[in-house]
Structure 1
């Protein structure tokens, strides 16, 4: 039995090493959230047995959870680079035909040939509709619109787009060559009842699940949602010093379990070699 107990420890240590290695590898990834492996002990006994005479049976993986603490904000100077100072996620919609919603903290956005603002996966950034005064008129998912930069002033087709600005509340304002301005929309943001229930799909993107609950859409700085910082991106929340210390602990744990297997093997071999 000691073989299987130590084997479960080896597998647990290997999982922890893999988790820590992934954190270290993504220390420079924009919007990345570190993960932590959570373990529990294995114990089994029949109702008629005394638990005082039974040892545990090893360890099992309860789950790998991501830690959604905010990372450091880094200045880039690019208007469409966005970061969130606080909680929440940007809402992006995939390209046709599926057009699935996903949620990200990676605000390194760019423009495609259709003048759509997209993320690193090519998904389109979503905006909430606003009125002429810049007030959000709807927070329904069905009413969200793609973030598309206007090419000309709607009131003057000869006036081209000169500048785009995004304030801390996520309001996107376009300024044209003739001095006119237009409120394009407000950056759509989302929160969840249980963020640890989100399903990671890579590149600091997540999808909603039954465990996370439905997305709660709103404008920036509303409720628990943080403010938007234009010209910045959020670095990963990985602390390399902490990860390296954890790496040493996981390595020692692996070595100890391997030594326990070696000891059990030696004892078994000794018993086998006993002669009457």
Structure 2
């Protein structure tokens, strides 16, 4: 039985090292959130057995959860580089025909030749419609639309776009050569009842699941959404020093379990070799 107990410890340590290694590998990724492996002990007994005579039977992986704590920030000279100061997530939508909705903290956006604002995966950033004074008129996923930069002023299509600003509340305002301003909408953001229940899909993107619960969609500065900082990017929340210490601890656990298996093997050989 000690073989299987130590084997479970080996597998747990290997998983722990894999999770920590992934955190270290993505320390420089924009919007990346570190993961943590959680383990639980294994005990088994029948109702007629004395609980004082039961030894543990190893460990098992309870789950790998992502830690949605705030990452550090770095300044940028691009207006479309966005960072969130809060718990919100940007909402992006993939290309037709699937148009898959996902959520991200990676605020590195750029325009396409036809004016659509996309992230590093090619998904389009979503905006919420606003009225004449900048208030959101529809805060549902169905009401969100693709962020597309206009080519000309509403009253004079020949007047080219000269500037785009994004406020703390996510309000996108376009300024044209004739001095006219146009409010395009507010950047759509989402939060979830259980953030750790989101399913990671890579590139600092997540999808909702039954464990995460349904999204709450709104603009920035509302509730826990947080504010939007234009001209900044959020780095990963990985602390290299902490990860290296945890990696050393996982290596020691691996070595200890390997030593326990070696000891059990020697004991078995000794018993079998008795005459």
Q: Which residue of 1 aligns with 2:81?
A: 81
Greater shift in the superposed pair: 137-146 or 56-65: 137-146
Post-superposition Cα deviations, 1:222-242, rounded to whole Å, max 9, x if no partner, equal: 011100000001000000000
Structure 1 ranges of 4+ moved more than 3 A: none
Counterpart-to-counterpart distance in 2, 1:132 and 1:180: 14
SS, match of residue 158 in structure 1:
coil
SS, match of residue 264 in structure 2:
helix
- Whether 1:213 aligns to 2:213 is yes
Question: TM-score normalized by structure 2?
Answer: 0.99
Post-superposition Cα deviations, 1:110-153, rounded to whole Å, max 9, x if no partner, equal: 11122100011111100000112211111021111100000100
Counterpart-to-counterpart distance in 2, 1:101 and 1:202: 14
Counterpart-to-counterpart distance in 2, 1:69 and 1:140: 26
Backbone CA RMSD of aligned residues: 0.6
SS, match of residue 133 in structure 1:
coil
Cα offset, 1:54, TM superposition: 1.6
Q: Which residue of 2 aligns with 1:105?
A: 105
SS, match of residue 141 in structure 1:
coil
Counterpart-to-counterpart distance in 1, 2:15 and 2:93: 33
Q: Which residue of 1 aligns with 2:132?
A: 132
Q: Write the mapping of 1:1-276 to structure 2, written as runs, cut at 5 A.
A: 1-275=1-275
Counterpart-to-counterpart distance in 2, 1:192 and 1:87: 9
Counterpart-to-counterpart distance in 1, 2:153 and 2:246: 56
Aligned residues: 275
Counterpart-to-counterpart distance in 1, 2:163 and 2:33: 33
Greater shift in the superposed pair: 249-258 or 107-116: 107-116
Give ranges in structure 1 of 5+ residues lacking alignment. Answer: none
Counterpart-to-counterpart distance in 1, 2:74 and 2:220: 19
Counterpart-to-counterpart distance in 1, 2:140 and 2:7: 51
Question: TM-score normalized by structure 1?
Answer: 0.99
Give ranges in structure 2 of 5+ residues lacking alignment. Answer: none
Post-superposition Cα deviations, 1:180-232, rounded to whole Å, max 9, x if no partner, equal: 00000000000100000000000110000011011110010101110000000
